[in-house]
Amino acid sequence: MTDQPAAVSEEAVKVADAYHDANGQPIMAESIVIYIDALATKVYWEQESDPTKLEFVRDWVRQFNEFRENLAIYRGLTGGAATPQSPMAVTFTDNVAVTIPLPPEHIAILTALAEHKLPAGLEAANQAHEALNWLMDMVFTLQIHILRLVWGHSRLFRGAVRVGPVYADDWTIIGDGLIDAVMGEEEGTVVPAIQLPEWMVQAYELDASFYKDHRDSSLYQTLGHTKFTAGEVDYSFVFLNYLTCPDHAEYALWRDEVIPAHKAIVTKGLDTNTNSHVRFKFLWMAVYHNWVVADNGLDDSLRIDLDGELAARSIIVQSLDKAT
């Protein structure tokens, strides 16, 4: 005779942390879930020297350890003494999954936004604005470390960010939120982009109303929107603008080194790849790169020449205000 699972009470559960009840048993918690895949790892592993691969592995581990530590400095992350919980991250081969439990005060509003339910009334709108600022703090921290890996190692990444229920500990991440993020990475896009759900467009419209200049919204600064057709599939999604300047104090470094290095990565990809499927990824990156250059008023010399690239003409990369 097997043990029967104990019935789960409908009453509020006392918790030890976000992912465990008072008895240490796993519970599901609404969380930000990030899933990332480093692209072309097989080719990279076959072509690069052992010292180069070891350098990448060390930086991969360092960047995501720093990412986790940086997230933990946000006091809002733990939701106070009631849910003392740091982010959970699991890295395997060239993939990483990260979960960040939502602070209790933001759960209702973010899950409502994820269901395309806009808040009614000024107080609810203010709560949504605060929750979105917290969410963007988390996503922007991810952007910084992705940019470092792209710039430092010429590696490309695809992934997805979702909000949903998961259980997580030092070894395990499981739940609908992770499944949604994995499916977003595998089916939501074919280009090197970190995809976010389409409801972020509505969230941006709400958040932008709090600013005299809509470009001051953290969503405007951190996210972009793209549309394109690959094969017979039409894609339209919000993505992480990993090329945005992470800090005004580092603007000169970003303009003079990061952007030219990204141009070199994309140009090399366009020059060396004849496979149409792979080359399309670099075409998308080129259109994205040129959008960043134009949106930030950078010198035209930093643009990638796409004259004669007919396929690039069907790729749209734009700011969130153009997607509404």
Nearest to 32 by CA among 238, 180, 147, 156: 180
Q: Tokens 């269901």 correspond to what residue? A: 115
Give the integer Cα–Cα distance in Å for 275 and 170: 40
Which pLDDT does position 96 carry in this prediction?
86
Give the integer Cα–Cα distance in Å for 139 and 32: 9
Give the integer Cα–Cα distance in Å for 217 and 152: 29
CB atoms within 10 A of CB 198: 15
Give the integer Cα–Cα distance in Å for 83 and 18: 5
Give the integer Cα–Cα distance in Å for 106 and 84: 15
Contact between 181 and 35 (Cβ < 8 Å)? yes
Q: Domain 24-323 falls in which CATH fold? A: Alpha-Beta Plaits (3.30.70)
Question: In the chain, which ranges are continuous DSSP H helix?
Answer: 41-47, 50-72, 104-114, 122-153, 176-187, 199-208, 218-222, 251-253, 259-272, 276-295, 320-323
- Blockwise average pLDDT, block size 10, the chain, 324 residues: 46 68 90 87 82 86 74 50 63 84 85 82 84 80 76 82 91 94 91 91 89 90 92 90 82 91 92 83 95 95 91 90 84
Which pLDDT does position 247 carry in this prediction?
74
Q: Where exactly are the structural domains of the chain?
A: 24-323
Which pLDDT does position 188 carry in this prediction?
87
